[in-house]
């Protein structure tokens, strides 16, 4: 079998991957990566030689963000990648629900794996999304840590996470459960993900609540309770060459009542459709 | 005075060289003829590369194998198996189309009835993301 990339990466190549991932970290507005990477690109755990890859390229998306004044269509530049050293890994993926993730693969077998994760939590609401939120305090991304377990069974992947705020930003925690499947249709790779994301009351209130000191007639004070958001995603990727992938995704999030009642939001759900050309090195 | 005893050895040596040259010229012309035959046959396989998203995935490819020669020939095209994919009898050109899922780089050869190889071409299977080999290992710091 022809090897298109050497099994042992040069020091120069590893340094390039690390630098690229550092740039991706700075460019990402959110931080943390999940089952979307595994179901699309394959398992990223023990057995992987040290090294990784960088991904970048243009991304065109259209989304219905349930916030008044939020942009619906956008063209941006995606930067991401994956780097592994021994059992430590750094994963940046704009296609994942979680964007950037620093972790340690504690256990790995053909059937399941366990990772210890640390990442920057989702900031959620801030005035970069819409000028309407100019008087609302930005929700700062905080550091969350926890465990992730993944089960592999043929084309099926099940993943569970439990992560808690360790920075003291909101003292909340989150748990997620997802099931994903991959299909190969000629050289098209299709995938589907369904899942649920639970956020504790403190976590949900930090993102979607409105404190008394930031309340206004437009955005009255609101205290959010715990929430469960249901997420679905379908996607198709096609390798145009060894270094170029065409990637398409459609996401739909059904928001929980606790989130829908937030005065910051104007709708019950979130939808995004996106297409990207991804260069992989 | 001419040494008449050396003349027969000299003449025998000269004839020896002539015979050697004659044998060499026959061998060279034979090899040249075979080389000319090989140059008179063109074997093309398309595409020459197939890319999957992940290492280890079978690569779907629409194969086109074609050949032509200056003289009629009876040839068969072979892939990975012992059975030929297709054969042609006493023709000077041939085409074969097929769809395949290739699991690895595959060599295609054109052979005659004696098994002599008249052409070969390779379809390289490549990928974007390397696959991971997993081993059971538990370790926490």
Per-residue confidence in pLDDT tens, chain B, 141 aa: 444 444 555 556 677 666 666 665 655 555 454 454 456 899 999 999 999 999 889 999 999 999 999 999 999 999 988 899 999 999 999 999 999 999 999 999 999 999 999 999 999 999 998 875 544 445 444
Contact residues, chain A to chain B, C-beta under 8 Å = 1-2, 4-5, 40-48, 53, 87, 104, 106-110, 113, 116, 184, 186-187, 189, 237-243, 245, 280
Domain boundaries, chain B: 1-38, 40-129
**How close does chain B come to A16, measured CA to CA in Å?**
17
Cα nearest neighbour of A54 on chain B: B129
Q: Which of B47, B49, B101, B130 to mutate to test the interface with A (most CBs of A within 10 A)?
A: B130
Going by C-alpha positions, the residue among A125, A104, A131, A124 that lies closest to residue A115 is A104
| CATH number of B40-129, picked from 3.40.50.620, 3.30.365.10, 2.60.40.10, 3.40.50.2000 | 2.60.40.10
Q: Note if the pTM is more than 0.90.
A: no
Q: Is B135 exposed, middle or buried (0-12, 13-18, 19+ CB in 10 A)?
A: exposed
Residue B100, chain A, CB below 8 Å: the answer is no
The helix, strand and coil proportions of chain A, stated in percent and rounded to the nearest 5, come to 15, 50, 35
Q: Look up the ipTM and state it.
A: 0.77
Instruction: Choose the closest CB to A46 out of B105, B130, B135.
Output: B135
Q: What element of type H or E holds B66?
A: strand B59-78
**A241/B51 CB distance under 8 A:** yes
Residue pairs between chains A and B whose CB atoms are closer than 8 Å: 88
Q: What is the DSSP letter of A121?
A: P
CA distance A142 to A174: 13
CB A258 within 8 A of CB A226: yes
């Amino acid at each position: 079998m022809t090897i298109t990339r050497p099994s042992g990466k040069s020091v120069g190549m590893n340094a390039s991957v690390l630098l690229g991932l550092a740039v991706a970290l700075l460019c990402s507005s959110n931080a943390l990566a999940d089952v979307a990477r595994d179901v699309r690109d394959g398992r990223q755990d023990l057995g992987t030689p040290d090294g990784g890859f960088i991904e970048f390229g243009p991304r065109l998306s259209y989304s219905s963000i349930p916030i008044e004044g939020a942009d619906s269509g956008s063209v941006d530049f995606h930067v991401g990648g994956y780097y592994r050293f021994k059992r430590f890994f750094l994963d940046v993926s704009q296609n994942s629900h979680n964007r950037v993730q620093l972790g340690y693969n504690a256990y790995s077998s053909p059937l399941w794996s366990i990772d210890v994760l640390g990442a920057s939590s989702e900031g959620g609401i801030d005035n970069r999304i819409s000028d309407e939120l100019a008087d609302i305090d930005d929700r700062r991304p905080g550091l969350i840590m926890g465990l992730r377990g993944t089960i592999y069974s043929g084309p099926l992947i099940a993943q569970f996470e439990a992560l808690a705020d360790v920075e003291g930003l909101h003292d909340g925690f989150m748990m997620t459960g997802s099931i994903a499947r991959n299909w190969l249709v000629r050289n098209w790779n299709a995938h589907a993900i369904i899942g649920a994301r639970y956020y504790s009351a403190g976590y949900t209130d930090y993102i979607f609540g409105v404190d008394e000191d930031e309340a206004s007639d437009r955005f009255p004070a609101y205290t959010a309770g715990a929430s469960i958001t249901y997420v679905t995603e379908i996607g198709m990727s096609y390798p145009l060459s060894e270094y170029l992938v065409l990637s398409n995704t459609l996401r739909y999030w059904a928001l929980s009542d606790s989130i829908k009642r937030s005065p910051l939001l104007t709708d019950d759900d979130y939808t995004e459709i996106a297409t990207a050309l991804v260069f992989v090195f | 005075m001419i040494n008449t005893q050396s003349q027969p050895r000299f003449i025998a040596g000269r004839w020896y060289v002539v015979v050697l040259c004659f044998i060499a010229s026959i061998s060279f012309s034979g090899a040249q003829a075979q080389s000319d035959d090989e140059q008179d046959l063109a074997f093309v396989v398309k595409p020459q590369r197939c890319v999957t998203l992940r290492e280890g995935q079978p690569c779907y490819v629409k194969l086109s194998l074609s050949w032509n020669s200056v003289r009629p020939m009876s040839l068969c095209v072979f892939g990975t198996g012992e059975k030929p994919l297709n054969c042609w009898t006493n023709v000077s050109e041939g085409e074969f189309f097929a769809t395949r899922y290739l699991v690895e780089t595959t060599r295609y050869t054109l052979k005659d009835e004696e098994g002599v190889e008249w052409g070969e071409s390779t379809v390289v299977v490549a990928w974007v993301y390397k696959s991971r080999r997993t081993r059971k290992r538990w370790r926490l710091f």
